[in-house]
Structure 1
Amino acid sequence: MAIEQTAARILCVVGARPNFMKIAPIMRAFNAPGSGLQASLVHTGQHYDAAMKHAFFEQLHIPEPDVDLGVGSGTHAEQTAHIMLKFEPVLDAQRPAAVLVVGDVNSTIACALVAVKKGIPVIHVEAGLRSGDRGMPEEINRILTDQLSDLLFTTEASAADNLEREGISRDKVHFVGNVMIDTLHYNLASATPSAHTLAEAGAAFTQGYGLLTLHRPSNVDDADVLRRLLTELAGISHETPLVFPVHPRTRARISEAGLDALLSDANILLLPPQGYLEMLGLMRDARMVLTDSGGIQEETTALGVPCITLRESTERPITVAQGTNTIVGTDAAAIRKAYREVMDLGGKAGRQPEHWDGQAAERIAVILARWCADGRAA
């Protein structure tokens, strides 16, 4: 008589909004019958807007966390240290087979570091992405987490080359695709129509708009850069109205720099931060997207919507090589040129990158279950 194998318990970590979209399909795949895995969820509380966290968990059908550390805000050092202090007792109590972290936020590196110090294997989803800009805190988090990881799952084939250059063995690396795009495919039919979101906000337009997001410290913390960006974007808005869900920190920096008038005189609709389904609808229906977000570069490629990235580099080069993304930095002339190419020529059409098919989480589950069954987990 066959003996039923006990499912390997995997402790999955989320901490901030970008993690939520990545963890949802992973939790579904791990907890599916017959997966050989049992997932539990720790939310560090790095994203400390309780209402927004609830909205994302509800919209994405993420189970309530088994543990919520409630860390909250602070400097990078404070936040990372607080997460480590609160995560260690959780590991002592649960002793999982492995700890899975996603992305590149402070929770990612903090929990990976605690796990490896306690001899618990680390799994990194979205490994190997590199911008080449170590001035970005996320770049440091990516590099260090990959060095600590026992199993690394990548979103694009070039990531394996980055990891090999850093001395990471290829037998640890698996190209599975993009779990963010799993979430997009799973929820696209349920996306809130942009016309509904815009009507609720009292917009005078319902189509032909551009979607704008800004939150990177390099763009919003330097008043001169922020002024240059907003001046050019305000100019664009007189031809193409812009919808701007404003991050609270960005809103504060705009006011501190005395730049509110630039927005009030422009055809820019300011919105509070949006839920996932609302943002997905706004992206899907936009004429173009202007952003400094990494995840939005991927989502616009999957949606086939032209993306103008207001950064000097990207850790997601496939969105440029195969997708709809154009990198312009913060130079006004470069922004205007890319904008005109979208308006006059339609922008980059792009194509779907390999394995961006909505099945990445299932591939991860199969590989991880086999890895655990082979006795390589704790």
Structure 2
Amino acid sequence: MATKRKYNDEDGQNSCTGYIHDVSPIKRSKANNPYFEGTIQTADRQYQRLVCFDTNKHGTLQAAATSKTPLKLSSIKQSPSRADSTKSDVVINQSSTLELKVRKLDFDHYAMKKQTGTTPTPIKTIVEQIPEYNKVTIAGKVASIGEPIKQEVRGLNMTKQDVIIADQTDFINLTVWNNMVDSLLHNHHYILTNLTTRNFNNTKTLTTTVSTTVQELEEVPTDLKNVVNVDMDLAPVSQKIVGEISQVMIAQSKICNACKKKVGDQMCNEHSTFFRCCFCNMKQKSSSLKTSMSGTLNITTAEPDGKSTKVAIFHNVLMEFLKELNKTDLLNNANLLEEYLLELESVSITYGKDNVVQKMRT
């Protein structure tokens, strides 16, 4: 049986050294577990988000941030970032160790620029200078706006909309979530506060937060009357592809009704009357768990070169697709669903800049 590889410090996988920034207060997760966040600067103006699940380390990390003293973090985990799929988060737990580094590092402590006020920041400045996970305010014109789409995020059904905002300096992609959807109109000018910076495929983007506010500008300032031209080929809101599903992988999961997290089918004994979630420790009836399907599709076009595009697809899109074909019974069997999709002659897929399917039709 294959075993997981154990990394040592020489691998550079379970330790890192740097300056600590912006340690948050202790919070509670949706599963009621205590944790806190921060940032570690690992090179000149290069940062990683850190998440710590050992609250006994809160004081040490806070003191290191205040004194600008470098720390070596050992026995950590590098977890794929939920905010940027191209990066990873540093995860600290009870087995992790913190070691004071007296020697000077080969880079200087550099505090990240924080943009939390209501004065708009030029979009070009955000794109070139503001690190991710920072709150910013922008003023600009809606250059493009996509259709609202439903997307499953960590077991929750969310609605999002992709928008392009431009000012006199540059343009940027903005993802609008839930109650903010349809609050912006094409070619109208707005001030938006408390947006958060993100990186996707090494491209700076913005996303709304629960504290985001939107104010339409009744009188447009002179400098916003002449915004930059947006090259839609460089900043597409969505793309469409028609072809055959050449390869497919569908994973079936159960959703805990308490914490809304996915639990693998192998963790749910269908012969048991009750089930205890391994994340939130809440017991519930096994029959109450909802089924979720998600996976990956490779779409090959009919052109001679047979271009292949890899996309992710989530439960809500699969459900809408199968409803139209009266095939919702396939949502209970991942294997039969995969075979059905492979037998389709052709599908039309609309997907966003994150390669997530928004709509699928035959």
- TM-score normalised by structure 2 residue count: 0.27
More strand, by proportion: 2
Rg larger for: 2
